[in-house]
Amino acid sequence: MKKIIIISLLVVAVVAVIIACCPCRKGKSNATLTEGQWHVVRMMNHDLKITAEQFTFTFLADGVFAGTGACNQINAQYTKGEKGELTFSNLVSTKMMCPDIELENTFNQILEGTTHYEMDGEMLMLFSNGEMQAVLKQVK
């Protein structure tokens, strides 16, 4: 019985350290979605190893989300609510094939399923029904 309690406490401690060390939780910011560009750095709990030109997007003030995925231009309409709600609709993309096309398809699915967002410092976290799906870093 003692071993189970000790193992449980160790698991809780490790999870707490991982959450506390997450680079997406470093400080509050007054930044807004429409300031600068956003570069995707994490999807589905995996850090991305992509070029600076890939997965870079802008939230335009007129409700347009636009940028480049792995190799295709991606555009969508976005709607932001007062309590952190965020949805994307009318997603369109060019259709070129490239080595990272599966990442791009995954990101498009994340956008279509986004329900809300949080900002923390220069990080933008996209959520779907309470689960973090992607993290974007502000590019100045």
Beta-carbon-side half-sphere exposure of residue 57 (alpha carbons within 13 Å):
27
- What is residue 16's predicted lDDT score, i.e. its pLDDT? 47
In a domain, 8, yes or no: no
Higher pLDDT, 52 or 84: 84
Average pLDDT over residues 84-96: 95
pLDDT at 100 over 50: yes
Residue % of the chain over a pLDDT of 70: 78
Average pLDDT over residues 90-113: 94
Range of the domain at 63: 28-139
Q: What is the CATH number of the domain that holds 80?
A: 2.40.128.270
In a domain, 16, yes or no: no
Give this prediction's pTM: 0.76
- What is residue 8's predicted lDDT score, i.e. its pLDDT? 60
Total of domains in the chain: 1
| Integer Cα distance of 140 and 134 in angstroms | 19
Q: Please report, as a single letter, which amino acid is at residue 42.
A: R
pLDDT at 21 over 50: no
In a domain, 19, yes or no: no
Using pLDDT thresholds of 50, 70 and 90, give the confidence band for residue 24. very low
